[in-house]
Amino acid sequence: MDVKTKYKAKKVKAVFFDIDDTLRVKDTGYMPDSIKAVFKELKEKGIQTGIASGRAFYGIVPEIRQLEPDYFVTINGAYVIDHKGLEIFNDPIPTDIIEKYIDWCHKVGIDFGFAGKDKAVVSKRTKLIDDALVPVYGLCDVDPDFYKTNDVYHMWTFEEVGDALELPETLSKDIRFVRWHVNSSDVVKNGTSKASGLAHVLDKAGLKPENILFFGDGPNDVEMFDYVGLKIAMGNGHGTLKEKADFVTKNVEEDGILYALEELGLVEKKLVFPQLELENAEGPLVVIKTNLGAMKLQLFPEEAPKTVANFLALARDDYYKDVIFHRIIKDFMIQGGDPTGSGMGGESIYGEPFADEFSEKLYNLRGALSMANAGPNTNGSQFFIVQNHDLPYSEKELENGGWPKKIAAAYAERGGAPHLDRRHTVFGQLVDQSSYETLDKIAETPTGPADKPVDDVRIESIQVINDEDR
- For residue 40, the domain's CATH number is 3.40.50.1000
pLDDT > 70 in the chain, percent: 99
Parallel/antiparallel/unpaired status of strands 79-82 and 87-90: antiparallel
Q: Identify the weakest region by mean pLDDT among 70-79, 262-271, 356-365.
A: 262-271
Contact, 278 vs 429, CB < 8 A? yes
Query: 265: how many CB neighbours lie within 10 A of its CB?
Result: 13
Asked whether 309 and 428 are in contact (CB, 8 A), the reply is no
> Nearest CA to 429 among 308, 289, 320?
308
Of the candidates 2, 18, 246, 451, the residue annotated as catalytic is 18
**How confident is residue 308, by pLDDT bands cut at 50, 70 and 90?**
very high
Give the rounded distance of the alpha carbon of 116 from its chain centre. Answer: 36
Band of pLDDT at residue 268, cut at 50, 70 and 90:
confident
Which of 189, 208, 223 is the endpoint of a domain? Answer: 189
* Per-residue pLDDT, 202: 97
- Beta-carbon contacts of residue 31 (< 8 Å; ≥ 6 apart): 23, 24, 25, 63, 64, 252
Q: Is 70 exceeded by the pLDDT of residue 340?
A: yes
pLDDT beyond 60 at 141 = yes
How far apart CA 348 and CA 409 sit, in angstroms, is 34
pLDDT tens for 282-306 read: 899 999 999 999 999 999 999 999 9
Pair (447, 385) in one structural domain: yes
Position 270 scores a pLDDT of 77
Same domain, 185 and 199: no
Confidence band of 358 (pLDDT split at 50, 70, 90): very high
The model scores a pTM over 0.85: no
Domain boundary pick from 165, 189, 213? 189
In a shared domain, residues 255 and 296? no
- pLDDT range class, residue 124, cuts 50, 70, 90: very high
269 belongs to a structural domain:
no
Q: What are the residues whose beta carbons fall under 8 Å from the beta carbon of 53, sequence distance 6 or more?
A: 18, 19, 20, 60, 72, 73, 74, 194
**Residues 310, 380 share a domain:** yes
Query: What is the rounded distance in angstroms from the CA atom of residue 166 to the CA atom of residue 176?
Result: 9
423 has a pLDDT exceeding 60: yes
Beta-strand runs (E) in 100-195 = 111-115, 120-122, 141-142, 154-158, 175-181, 184-189
Q: Kind of pairing, strands 184-189 and 175-181?
A: antiparallel
* pLDDT tier for residue 150 given thresholds of 50, 70 and 90: very high
The per-residue pLDDT for range 92-123, each reduced to its tens digit, is: 999 999 999 999 999 999 999 999 999 999 99
Query: Which strand (E) or helix (H) includes residue 412?
Result: helix 405-414
DSSP 253-283: GGTHHHHHHHHHTSS------GGG-GGG--S
Both 184 and 307 in a single domain? no
Cβ neighbors of 92 (< 8 A, separation 6 or more) are 78, 151, 152, 153
Amino acid 412 reads: A
Provide the domain count of the chain.
3
In this structure, is residue 164 part of a structural domain? yes
Residue 348 · residue 380 · CB < 8 Å: yes
Task: Give 161-173 as a 3 state SS string.
Answer: CHHHCCCCHHHHC
Q: Which of the four pLDDT bands, split at 50, 70 and 90, describes residue 269?
A: confident
Asked if 293 and 246 sit in the same domain, the reply is: no
Please report the pLDDT score of residue 163 as a whole number.
86
307 within 8 A of 357, measured Cβ to Cβ: yes
Give me the CATH number covering residue 174.
Answer: 3.30.1240.10
**Long-range pairs, 316-324, Cβ under 8 A, ≥24:** 316/464, 318/461, 319/381, 320/288, 320/381, 320/459, 320/462, 321/459, 321/460, 321/461, 321/462, 322/458, 322/459, 322/460, 323/458, 323/459, 324/453, 324/456, 324/457, 324/458, 324/459
Residues of the domain holding 37: 3-86+193-264
Strand ranges of the sheet holding 383-386, from the earlier edge strand across to the other edge: 327-329, 333-336, 383-386, 368-371, 426-430, 293-299, 285-290, 459-465
Q: Is the pLDDT of residue 407 over 60?
A: yes
Q: Which range (11-15, 268-272, 401-405, 440-444) has the least confidence?
A: 268-272
Is the CB of residue 386 less than 8 Å from the CB of residue 416? yes
Please give the pLDDT value at position 466: 73
- pLDDT of amino acid 94: 97
226 is catalytic: no
Q: Say what the pLDDT of residue 469 is.
A: 53
Instruction: Report if residue 368 sits inside a domain.
Output: yes
Angle 434-440-446 (CA atoms, 0-180°, nearest 5)?
Answer: 140
Is residue 158 one of the residues assigned to a domain? Answer: yes
Given a cut of 80, whether residue 88 has pLDDT beyond it is yes
Is the same domain home to 22 and 127? no
Confidence band (pLDDT; 50, 70, 90) for 186?
Answer: very high
The CATH number of the domain holding residue 313 is: 2.40.100.10
SS3 state at 219: helix
Those residues whose C-beta lies under 8 Å from the C-beta of residue 164, and which sit 6 or more positions away, are none
pLDDT value for 386: 98
Residues 150 and 296 in one domain: no
Q: What is the mean predicted confidence (pLDDT) over 458-465? A: 96
Last residue of a domain, one of 264, 283, 310: 264
**Coil, helix or strand at residue 298:** strand
Q: Is the domain of 228 the same as that of 367?
A: no
Q: Are residues 69 and 136 in the same domain?
A: no
What is residue 392's predicted lDDT score, i.e. its pLDDT? 87
Question: What mean pLDDT value characterizes the chain?
Answer: 95
Whether the per-residue pLDDT at 47 is higher than 80: the answer is yes
Q: What is the reported pLDDT for 467? A: 53
Name every residue whose Cβ is closer than 8 Å to that of residue 7 and which is 6 or more positions away in sequence.
none
Query: Rounded CA gap, 237 and 221, in Å?
Result: 10
Q: Do the domain assignments include residue 137?
A: yes
User: In terms of domains, do 304 and 427 share one?
Assistant: yes
Band of residue 414 on the pLDDT scale cut at 50, 70, 90: very high
Q: What is the pLDDT of residue 404?
A: 92
Going from the C-alpha of 210 to that of each of 232, 258, 267, the distances in angstroms are: 14, 21, 19
- Do 450 and 352 fall within a single domain? yes
Mean pLDDT of 384-405: 93
